[in-house]
């Protein structure tokens, strides 16, 4: 089964720092790469997504960088805030019918 | 409120029992997806329904089954429950048009098997 490999498993960043989470995928047919944010006790929520025809997408403090040749994409959180403390999941569609497969998740803690 | 409603929010039951989790998708969404999230684990895809028909199946146990009804709500049935079935069960919905992968998740049902 196609996989999406996410790292690191956990990340601690100081307030104001940059958080970087990476994902690697296998299937070159993937054409949509979203990141989801999940707070404790809540369902994941779409944070930002990119298609492979662009190398970078920025929304506020959140940026996705996409490297098609390396089959990797990453999430950068600039000026990280304590409110960004959450679990982040990368994902990619797999097997048709818009089914998403998710990475294992990264637990981010931003310390004040 | 995401627009995807899951009930109940919490469920505690004994081993060997059967439970039903319910999901109402966001208005206009035809696809429903079920995911399992165990403690400190990622989201494991269980099954997808589109407009009442099963579309895709993941690593769903034979003890688990699901269906989507004509009003598009979906139910996930878990039977012969084991301690290891304790997890968060999420439902997500999408419009499921070609190239549109946007998922909206519900808040989940936390199942505890004792």
What's the pLDDT tens digit per position in A26-60? Answer: 877 777 889 999 998 899 999 999 888 889 999 99
A41 with B107: Cβ contact below 8 A: yes
List of chain A residues whose C-beta atoms are within 8 Å of the C-beta of residue B53? none
Count of A-B CB contacts under 8 Å? 67
Specify whether the CB–CB gap between B11 and B98 falls below 8 A.
no
Task: Point out the residue among B31, B102, B108 whose CB comes nearest to the CB of A46.
Answer: B102
Q: What is the pLDDT at residue A46?
A: 93
Residue B12 pairs with which residues in a beta bridge? B112
Omega cis (within 30) before B106: no
- DSSP label of B83: G
Q: What is the pLDDT at residue B47?
A: 95
User: A101 in contact with B at a CB cutoff of 8 Å?
Assistant: yes
User: A100 in contact with B at a CB cutoff of 8 Å?
Assistant: yes
**A5-27 mean pLDDT:** 95
Distances (CA, A) of A79 to A83, A111, B107: 11, 12, 28
Residues 6+ apart with CB under 8 A from B107: A41, A42, A43, B2, B6, B9
**3-class secondary structure per residue, chain A:** CCCEEEECCEEEEECCCCEEEEEEECCCCCCCEEEEEECCCCCCEEEEEECCCCCEEEECCEEEEEECCCCEEEEEECCCCHHHCEEEEEEEECCCCCCEEECCCEEEEEEC
| Residues counted in chain B | 114
Q: Which of A50, A53, A55 is nearest to A66 (CA)?
A: A55
User: A27 in contact with B at a CB cutoff of 8 Å?
Assistant: no
User: B105 in contact with A at a CB cutoff of 8 Å?
Assistant: yes
Residue A48 pairs with which residues in a beta bridge? A35
List of chain B residues whose C-beta atoms are within 8 Å of the C-beta of residue A105? 41-43
How high is the mean pLDDT of chain B? Answer: 92
Is pLDDT above 90 for A110? yes
B56 with A49: Cβ contact below 8 A: no
- DSSP label of B70: T
Please state, as a whole number, how many other Cβ atoms lie within 10 Å of the Cβ of residue B6.
Answer: 22
Is pLDDT above 70 for B111? yes
| pLDDT category of residue B109 using cuts at 50, 70 and 90 | very high
A43 with B4: Cβ contact below 8 A: yes
B42 with A89: Cβ contact below 8 A: yes
User: A45 in contact with B at a CB cutoff of 8 Å?
Assistant: yes
> Closest residue of B to A3, CA-based?
B44
Is pLDDT above 70 for A2? no
Q: b/e map of A73-91 (b: 16 or more CB within 10 Å)? A: bbbbbeebeeebbbbbbbb
Q: What is the pLDDT at residue B103?
A: 87
Q: What is the pLDDT at residue A100?
A: 86
Q: What is the pLDDT at residue B45?
A: 92
**B82-98 mean pLDDT:** 89
Is pLDDT above 70 for B98? no
Distance CA A57, CA B111 (A): 37
Of residues B94 and B20, more confidence is placed in B20
How high is the mean pLDDT of chain A? Answer: 91
Which of B25-29, B40-44, B80-84 has the least mean pLDDT? B40-44
- DSSP label of B26: P
List of chain A residues whose C-beta atoms are within 8 Å of the C-beta of residue B96? 97-98
Q: What is the pLDDT at residue A107?
A: 95
Q: b/e map of A10-23 (b: 16 or more CB within 10 Å)? A: ebebeeeeebbbbb
Q: What is the pLDDT at residue A68?
A: 86
Q: What is the pLDDT of residues B31-73, one digit of tens each?
A: 999 999 987 678 999 999 999 999 999 989 999 999 999 999 9
Of residues A96 and A89, more confidence is placed in A89
Query: How close is the nearest chain B Cα to the Cα of A76, in Å?
Result: 20
Q: Which of B60, B67, B112 is nearest to B85 (CA)?
A: B112
């Amino acid at each position: 089964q196609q996989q999406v490999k996410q790292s690191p498993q956990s990340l601690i960043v100081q307030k104001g720092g940059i958080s970087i989470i990476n994902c690697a995928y296998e299937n070159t047919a993937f054409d949509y790469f979203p990141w989801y944010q999940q707070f404790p006790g809540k369902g994941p929520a779409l944070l930002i997504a990119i298609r492979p025809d662009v190398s970078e997408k920025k929304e506020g403090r959140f940026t996705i960088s996409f490297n098609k040749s390396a089959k990797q994409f990453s999430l950068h959180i600039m000026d990280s805030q304590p409110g960004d403390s959450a679990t982040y999941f990368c994902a990619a569609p797999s097997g048709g019918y818009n089914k998403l497969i998710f990475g294992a998740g990264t637990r981010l803690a931003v310390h004040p | 409120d995401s627009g995807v409603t899951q009930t109940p929010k919490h469920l505690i039951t004994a081993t060997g029992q059967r439970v039903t989790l319910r999901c109402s998708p966001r208005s206009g969404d035809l696809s429903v997806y079920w995911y399992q999230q165990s403690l400190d684990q990622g989201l494991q895809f269980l099954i997808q329904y589109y407009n009442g028909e099963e579309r895709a199946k993941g690593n769903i146990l034979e003890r688990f089954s699901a269906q989507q009804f004509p009003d598009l709500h979906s139910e996930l049935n878990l039977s012969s429950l084991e301690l290891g079935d304790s997890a968060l069960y999420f439902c997500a919905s999408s419009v499921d048009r070609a190239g549109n992968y946007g998922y909206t998740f519900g808040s989940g049902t936390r199942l505890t098997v004792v």
